[in-house]
Amino acid sequence: MRKVSRPALLAGIFALLVSASLVRSADTLPRELTDDAFWRMVSDFSEGGGSFRFEFMSNELEFQSVIPALKKMTKPGGAYLGVGPEQNFTYIAAVQPKIAFITDIRRENMLEHLIYKALFEMSSDRVDFISRLFSRKTPPGLTGNATAKALFQAYRTAETDAQLFSRNLQAIKDRLMKDHRFRLTAEDQTSIDYIYKTIFNAGTGFRYAGGGFGAFRGVSYPDLMTATDDDGQPRSYLATEQNFQFVREMERKNLIIPLVGDFAGSTALRKVAQYLKEHGATVTAFYTSNVEQYLFQQGDDWRRFYQNAATLPIDSSSTFIRSSHFAYERGTQSYRLMRRGNFLSLLCPMPELIKAFREGRLQSYDHLIRMSN
């Protein structure tokens, strides 16, 4: 038998301990949250609500264009962070995190995500989900193999059904308040009524409702769900049954947590950072939409946001996803304006940006976009 020296033995034991520690820390995010734990996070991590130009859906038609690169840059698992409504489901399906936190300054956005949560949980497949979302009877002949385009074409001519809407709305509230026992206020319930009624009245032609942005109103829900990446590959959460079922399973396990919070606030993002650190997890991707543009217009809010972001546990693959009306070509002074849609979707390594902020090299929104690609 070969004799092992004491230093070599100790080094081997240390390596095993470090390896075991890494395995444990990478496996501490819960596979499922109880209803009580989910609601405590929603309540305790959230801040007071604020206002923004009200909207129920994204207007970022080109948001799928970065997904191929995003999948190469990131790795499955970890935590996904985001803002806004339904576009998060598409990014979640793409990066496949273990847990997701959606932080938005509007309480209405949190409530809209609870509506989605109930609909995901109650729907067996995409056909059923679209029927419940828009309160339209299921057209005959649709199967789980249908493309998103075929699904929305079929539902486009489906008649409105006020009775189905009433039953669905009650089922949503029962799911949230009776089954999950989430403590929604009377005002919350009124907001849920309003949000769901707005979707019903609009039908599958549901369009962005940002207000005062002219052409931005041209983006509809089917436009977003049937959009593709630059290679023509459909990647929305309704593009395939596999994408839908991944998000549905996370919703069923209470692993998509909507929060009310300001990116520049003192609570929401800091609480998320603390939770992830306690569970040895890192951020996979952080979708900021175009929120940073507004933060740079609001005094020191941008600094407070990046101070918050600097507390998040990240690694070399952690990536910001953001939207902009323009993007600079790397290493040049030239820029390109938005292409097919209203926004360009851009990626930026989180460590690179946080380092630039800490060193004082990040001073403007223009510089932020120059660091994105």
DSSP string, 107-147: HHHHHHHHHHHHHHHH-SSHHHHHHHHHTBPPPTT--TT--
Residue 142's pLDDT is 87
Q: Each residue of 243-286: pLDDT tens digit?
A: 999 999 999 999 999 999 999 999 999 999 999 999 999 999 99
Helix-helix angle 126-134:241-252, to 10 degrees: 70
Whether the predicted pLDDT of 22 surpasses 60: no
Residue range 105-127: mean pLDDT, rounded = 96
Q: Which of 42-51, 219-228, 274-283 has the highest mean pLDDT?
A: 274-283
Rounded distance between C-alpha atoms, residue 283 and residue 175, angstroms? 30
Query: Are the CB atoms for 158 and 139 separated by under 8 Å?
Result: yes
Spatial contact of 99 and 281, defined as CB atoms under 8 Å apart:
yes
- Structural contact between residues 112 and 262, judged by C-beta atoms closer than 8 angstroms: no
What mean pLDDT is reported for the chain?
A: 85
